[in-house]
């Protein structure tokens, strides 16, 4: 209780700082626009074994876990308390009661849908649902017996960690920066993408992240998790919620049809990588020498943030080494990463831009003509991408550099690896980046051979903006004839028509996208050119990030947030 009180006090203090700029209503209105929820979590419905042998075992297991049992009889639902199972007679027994408020959700439980709930009001993750084959007329507060043969199926509510904007447990400082950056709409990012599931649009990520000039453009591939078509149509909404002008050149849906036992991802080049048997790391070593394995094991928003206070590097970068078991003489593998950029990177990049003062808009205009490769090289020299290394013959070999993916939603990525023929049973992988630029939530390795997968490429069938204007032709091909979104609140709904999934295969959906965006800023003051010149040197931006962070957390630089 005392710890909670301290956290609450710190959060209150941070909100008081934010109040200098606006009242609470405006702050939470801004959050509502982005569909951000700090009090809500999500779950998916998962069916479990329902044959006679599996049923009996599952009931025993759930009894040990003290699950809240719900019996579905036709359109009615009841709570079965004190449940026991009689193996000899193959029946379950218990006392029938009304559902408590925490478990009385009236919404339909659909297996392919992501469901939202509020932690303070409900507890769906503790539920086990029994669906009867035929309705039975029960009496409340009575002891009942149900034959296992009368049960049609059993399902549980499984925690969903991939669906959210920021439904993560934020530190008080993280919470403050999210509120501050979003309220002022100064997040250094790009168009927000929502997919329609049922009656709601769910936020899934951002288009062409980090592409701030037309010369930097390249194809980006955004995974659209848990996305299903409705009557053969996929509906996507792209919105501008920030102070920037967004130029979208192309949107194209990619639908991969594959077997249930495969997980399909795309690498940074849009090539299919299949995952059949993902192995966990057996050891994880942080920059300061700490061994910390648990964040890599699950998609649970317990992540690595590359912000250790101690570092042996001279350039203020941070690195993490993952050690895996490796089959001998295996020459290839696929790395599975779940990651995103930090809100801190957005904040500190804004502070960098702020130093241009009234000159910023001129600087940004000039940047539009700079060769894209030159800008990308500056980003690399400042360690903004996530570098991936494999140790071969005792030396670290650079495999890939991952460009920014945005700070508001985790993204799953695949990285194919070529391995040396060493006969070693150990694989070492190093992730390296600038100070606190990335968050890595899950890491796995798969040594299986890629399986051929059928891909359907779907162009927009119809795209309509917020004014009802048809803009389909602007999004159909990459021709630099852009669909522009210059104002906060601009949006476009895009409909894609898919072929019938006749074989009822599992489908993985991705949104191929291309475009760029420019910030709208009105910085004041005299440009600090002397300090800005230092950012021409390698690693200066990550040193800038590190210094501001530790100044902030040590209470020295609170004026930096003004």
Give the mean model confidence (pLDDT) for residues 531-540: 95
Pairing of strands 426-433, 318-325: antiparallel
Q: What is the pLDDT of residue 472?
A: 98
- CA 124 vs. chain centroid, Å, equals 22
Q: What is the pLDDT of residue 385?
A: 97
User: Using 50, 70 and 90 to split pLDDT, how confident is the model at 44?
Assistant: low
pLDDT exceeds 70 at position 18: no
Give the mean model confidence (pLDDT) for residues 197-213: 91
- Which residue has tokens 């951002």? 206
Q: What is the dihedral of CA 300, 306, 308, 313, to 10 degrees?
A: 160
Q: What is the pLDDT of residue 554?
A: 66
User: What are the counts of helices (DSSP H) followed by strands (DSSP E) for the chain?
Assistant: 10, 29
Pairing of strands 151-159, 127-132: antiparallel
- The candidate with the shortest Cα–Cα distance to 491, out of 157, 239, 224, is 239
Q: What is the pLDDT of residue 21?
A: 41
d(CA 9, CA 72): 44
pLDDT exceeds 60 at position 560: no
Q: Higher-confidence residue: 187 or 37? A: 187
d(CA 105, CA 102): 8
Cβ-contact 429, 322 below 8 angstroms: yes
pLDDT exceeds 80 at position 411: yes
The two structure tokens encoding residue 497: 């028509």
Predicted confidence (pLDDT) per residue in 230-270, tens digit: 888 999 999 998 889 999 999 999 999 999 999 999 999 99
Q: Higher-confidence residue: 337 or 70? A: 337
Across the chain, what does the average pLDDT equal? Answer: 82
Give the mean model confidence (pLDDT) for residues 306-333: 85
- Model pTM score: 0.71
Q: What is the pLDDT of residue 14?
A: 41
Q: At a CB cut-off of 8 Å and minimum separation 6, what does 367 contact?
A: 212, 213, 375
Cβ-contact 228, 496 below 8 angstroms: no
Degrees, nearest 5: CA angle 435-440-446: 135
Beta strands in 15-169 (DSSP E): 40-48, 68-73, 76-86, 91-97, 114-118, 127-132, 143-147, 151-159
pLDDT exceeds 80 at position 196: yes
d(CA 322, CA 440): 12
d(CA 187, CA 455): 34
Pairing of strands 127-132, 68-73: parallel
d(CA 494, CA 472): 8
Give the mean model confidence (pLDDT) for residues 142-148: 86
pLDDT exceeds 90 at position 455: yes
Q: Higher-confidence residue: 464 or 110? A: 464
Upper half-sphere CA count for residue 552 (Cβ side, 13 Å): 18
As a CATH number, domain 263-308+315-452+528-555 is: 2.60.120.260
User: Using 50, 70 and 90 to split pLDDT, how confident is the model at 6?
Assistant: very low
Cβ-contact 322, 431 below 8 angstroms: yes
- In the chain, what percentage of residues exceed pLDDT 90? 48
Give the mean model confidence (pLDDT) for residues 63-78: 81
Predicted confidence (pLDDT) per residue in 106-135, tens digit: 676 665 555 565 655 677 777 888 888 888
pLDDT exceeds 60 at position 291: yes
DSSP state of 304: B
Give the mean model confidence (pLDDT) for residues 282-293: 86
- Cα separation values, 312 from 42, 286, 317, 499, 544, Å: 40, 11, 9, 54, 17
Number of Cβ within a 10 Å radius of residue 126: 14
Residues in the chain: 562
Upper half-sphere CA count for residue 490 (Cβ side, 13 Å): 18
Q: What is the pLDDT of residue 22?
A: 37
Q: What is the pLDDT of residue 189?
A: 65
Give the mean model confidence (pLDDT) for residues 329-348: 91
- The lowest-confidence range among 290-299, 317-326, 339-348, 350-359 is 290-299
Upper half-sphere CA count for residue 297 (Cβ side, 13 Å): 6
d(CA 384, CA 387): 9
pLDDT exceeds 50 at position 171: no
User: Using 50, 70 and 90 to split pLDDT, how confident is the model at 562?
Assistant: very low
pLDDT exceeds 90 at position 286: no
Q: What is the pLDDT of residue 186?
A: 58
Q: Higher-confidence residue: 20 or 420? A: 420
Cβ-contact 500, 232 below 8 angstroms: yes
DSSP 3-state assignment of 256?
A: strand
Give the mean model confidence (pLDDT) for residues 300-324: 84
- The lowest-confidence range among 24-33, 151-160, 442-451, 479-488 is 24-33
- Which residue has tokens 């159909």? 476
Q: What is the pLDDT of residue 53?
A: 55
Q: Higher-confidence residue: 402 or 52? A: 402
User: Using 50, 70 and 90 to split pLDDT, how confident is the model at 2?
Assistant: very low
Q: Where in the chain is CATH 2.60.120.260? A: 263-308+315-452+528-555
The kind and range of the H/E element at 345 are: helix 343-354
- Which residue has tokens 């700490």? 290
Q: What is the pLDDT of residue 334?
A: 97
pLDDT exceeds 90 at position 280: yes
Q: Higher-confidence residue: 91 or 418? A: 418
pLDDT exceeds 60 at position 167: no
User: Using 50, 70 and 90 to split pLDDT, how confident is the model at 47?
Assistant: low
Q: What is the pLDDT of residue 198?
A: 83
* Angle between the N-to-C axes of helices 24-33 and 172-183, in degrees from 0 to 180, rounded to the nearest 10: 80
Cβ-contact 498, 255 below 8 angstroms: yes
């Amino acid at each position: 209780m005392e710890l909670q009180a301290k956290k609450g006090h710190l959060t209150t203090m941070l909100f008081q700082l934010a109040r200098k700029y606006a009242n609470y209503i405006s702050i939470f209105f801004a959050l509502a626009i982005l569909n951000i929820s700090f009090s809500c979590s999500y779950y998916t419905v998962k069916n479990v074994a329902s044959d006679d042998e599996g049923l009996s075992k599952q009931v025993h297991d759930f009894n040990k876990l003290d699950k809240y049992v719900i019996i579905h009889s036709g359109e009615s639902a009841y709570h079965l308390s004190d449940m026991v199972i009689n193996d000899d007679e193959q029946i379950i027994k218990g006392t029938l009661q009304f559902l408590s408020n925490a478990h009385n959700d009236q919404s339909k439980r659909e297996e392919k849908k992501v469901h939202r709930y509020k932690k303070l009001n409900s507890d769906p993750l503790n539920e086990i649902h029994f669906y009867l084959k035929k309705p039975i007329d029960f009496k409340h507060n009575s002891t009942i017996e149900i034959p296992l043969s009368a049960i049609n199926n059993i399902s549980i509510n499984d925690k969903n960690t991939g669906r959210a904007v920021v439904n993560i447990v934020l530190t008080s400082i993280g919470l403050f920066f999210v509120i501050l950056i979003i309220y002022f709409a100064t997040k250094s990012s790009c168009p927000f993408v929502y997919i329609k599931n049922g009656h709601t649009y769910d936020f899934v990520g951002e288009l062409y992240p980090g592409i701030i000039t037309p010369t930097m453009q390249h194809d980006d591939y955004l995974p659209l998790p848990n996305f299903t078509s409705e009557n053969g149509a996929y509906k996507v909404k792209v919105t501008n919620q920030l102070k920037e002008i967004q130029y979208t050149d192309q949107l194209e849906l990619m639908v991969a049809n594959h077997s249930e036992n495969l997980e399909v991802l795309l690498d940074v080049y849009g090539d299919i990588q299949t995952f059949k048997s993902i192995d966990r790391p057996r050891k994880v070593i942080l920059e300061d020498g700490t061994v910390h394995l648990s964040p890599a094991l699950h998609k649970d928003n317990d992540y690595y943030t590359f912000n250790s206070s101690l570092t042996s590097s001279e350039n203020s970068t941070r690195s993490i080494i993952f050690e895996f078991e490796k089959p001998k003489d295996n020459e290839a593998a696929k790395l599975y990463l779940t990651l995103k950029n930090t809100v801190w990177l957005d904040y500190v990049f804004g502070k960098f831009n702020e130093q241009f003062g009234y000159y910023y808009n001129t600087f940004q205009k000039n940047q539009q003509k700079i060769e894209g490769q030159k800008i990308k090289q500056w980003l690399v020299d400042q360690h903004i991408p996530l570098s991936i290394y494999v140790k071969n013959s005792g030396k670290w070999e650079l495999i890939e550099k991952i460009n920014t993916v945005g700070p508001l939603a985790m993204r799953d990525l695949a990285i194919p690896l070529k391995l040396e023929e060493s006969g070693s049973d150990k694989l070492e992988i190093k992730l390296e980046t600038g100070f606190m630029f990335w968050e890595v939530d899950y890491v796995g390795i798969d040594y299986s051979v890629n399986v051929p997968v059928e891909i359907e490429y779907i162009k927009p069938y119809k795209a309509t903006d917020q004014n009802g204007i048809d803009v389909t032709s602007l999004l159909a091909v990459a021709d630099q004839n852009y669909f522009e979104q210059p104002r906060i609140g601009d949006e476009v709904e895009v409909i894609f028509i898919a072929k019938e999934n006749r074989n009822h295969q599992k489908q993985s959906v991705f949104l191929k996208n291309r475009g760029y965006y420019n910030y709208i800023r009105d910085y004041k003051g005299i440009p600090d050119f002397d300090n800005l010149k230092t950012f021409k040197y390698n690693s200066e931006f990550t040193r800038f990030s590190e210094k501001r962070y530790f100044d902030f957390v040590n209470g020295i630089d609170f004026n930096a947030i003004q």
